[in-house]
Amino acid sequence: MKKKTNKNGNLKKVKKDQKEKNKKRKRLKEKSKKNENGKGREEE
């Protein structure tokens, strides 16, 4: 990853943070899907 800096020369963390959030969001979505599927199977 390239290190991006803002006007002050401080490193920007935004991109990495967004990637982490997206990963977590994906994991949560997958978990919720699995849970829904599990519930569905149990009901049937």
pLDDT per 10-residue tile (average), the chain, 44 residues: 70 71 84 69 53
State the residue range of the domain holding 23: 19-44
pLDDT value of position 19: 79
Q: What is the pLDDT of residue 39?
A: 64
Kindly tell me the number of DSSP H helices and DSSP E strands found in the chain. Answer: 1, 0
Residue 10, in any domain of the structure: no
Q: Are 11 and 4 in contact (CB under 8 A)?
A: yes
Tell whether 36 is covered by a domain. yes
Q: What is the pLDDT of residue 9?
A: 74
Q: How many domains does the chain have?
A: 1
pTM value is 0.36
Q: Which residues pair with 11 in a beta bridge?
A: 5
Answer whether 16's CB lies under 8 Å from 1's CB.
yes
pLDDT of residue 29: 81
Burial code (b: 16+ CB inside 10 Å, e: under 16) for 11-44 equals: eeeeeeeeeeeeeeeeeeeeeeeeeeeeeeeeee
